[in-house]
Amino acid sequence: MLGNPMARSILIIEDELEFAEFVMTGLAEEGFAVEHAIDGKQGHELLQSRPWDLVLLDWRLPHQDGLSLLRRFRQSGRQAPVIFLTARDEVDDRVQGLDSGADDYLCKPFAFAELLARVRALIRRREQPSSLLLVHGDVSIDLVAQRAQRAGRSLDLTAKELALLSFFLRHPRRILTRERVYENVWDEAFDTSSNTFEVHLKELRRKLEALGPRLIHNRRGQGYFLGEPPPREGL
């Protein structure tokens, strides 16, 4: 469900006053903040005036039709979801509307419940996180942006250090052998004569510990673990 619908702003651009009021009343009752533009000119001004969570756009409007409004809106780089409200129901029109950057359309007349369902679906889709976060305590990695931070400060890690930290963050409080970490992070067989793992781990620790206490610990003869110590086997 939507976290806080009060914060969601919807602009309806519609010249049929009675219809606009019907939609606005319904949306306001659902907790949305709704504003209305009566024609294409006012619609364009309000579209550009501030960010919207969603736009309901009529097709036939005085001064500027919905389709050209939508094209200008998308050309200006705006991403807000747009639902076309139209009396036209010919396939070509729908295709044209979607091609121009509409996310959905509804043919008048429609049931308010259907409009509401589509509004919610589009806003929910838009609010899906665009980043994948790995978090442990005060350390986090944004896997999409490939950035790490600790205690709110950015960590300047190499690609290998980032991969190494990611692997530990995916397996907190678990004993991980050098072999297992190496084979996952380097994607090649572990060579016991190589100190590559130790070199990278040392550097990663140095950077992490500049911003907080030790996070990746070792347990003699067993391997490494991130965070709180895991229970000892056999105890």
Which of these segments, 40-48, 58-66, 131-139, 154-162, binds Ca ion (CB under 5 A)? 58-66
Q: Which residue is nearest to Ca ion (CB)?
A: 60
Q: Which of 24, 52, 58, 182 binds Ca ion (CB under 5 A)?
A: 58
Backbone dihedral region for residue 66 (phi beyond 0: left; psi -120 to 50: alpha; all else: beta): alpha
Part in contact with Ca ion (CB under 5 A); list of ranges 15-23, 88-96, 160-168, 224-232: 15-23
Residues 11/46, Cβ–Cβ less than 8 Å: yes
108 binding Ca ion? (CB under 5 A): no
User: Of the candidates 5, 15, 88, 218, which one interacts with Ca ion according to CB under 5 A?
Assistant: 15
> Which of 60, 72, 74, 205 is close enough to bind Ca ion by CB under 5 A?
60
By C-beta, is 100 or 140 nearer to Ca ion?
100
Q: Taking the complex as a whole, how short is the minimal distance between the CB of residue 57 and Ca ion, in angstroms?
A: 10
The amino acid at residue 170 is R
Q: Residue 37 is inside which H or E element, if any?
A: strand 33-37
Q: How many C-beta neighbours within 10 Å does residue 27 have?
A: 22
Euclidean distance between CA atoms 54 and 50, whole angstroms: 12
CB 214 within 8 A of CB 199: no
What phi and psi values does residue 146 have, to the nearest 5 degrees?
Answer: 55, 50
Listed ranges 7-15, 25-33, 62-70, 196-204: which one lies at the site for Ca ion (CB under 5 A): 7-15
Helices 159-170 and 196-209 cross at an angle (nearest 10°) of 80
Choose the stretch contacting Ca ion; rule: CB under 5 A; options: 38-46, 51-59, 98-106, 112-120: 51-59
CB 73 within 8 A of CB 47: yes
Complex with Ca ion: residue 58 or 103, whichever CB lies closer: 58
- In the complex with Ca ion, the residue whose CB is nearer, 12 or 208, is 12
- Residues of this chain that bind Ca ion (CB under 5 A): 15, 58, 60
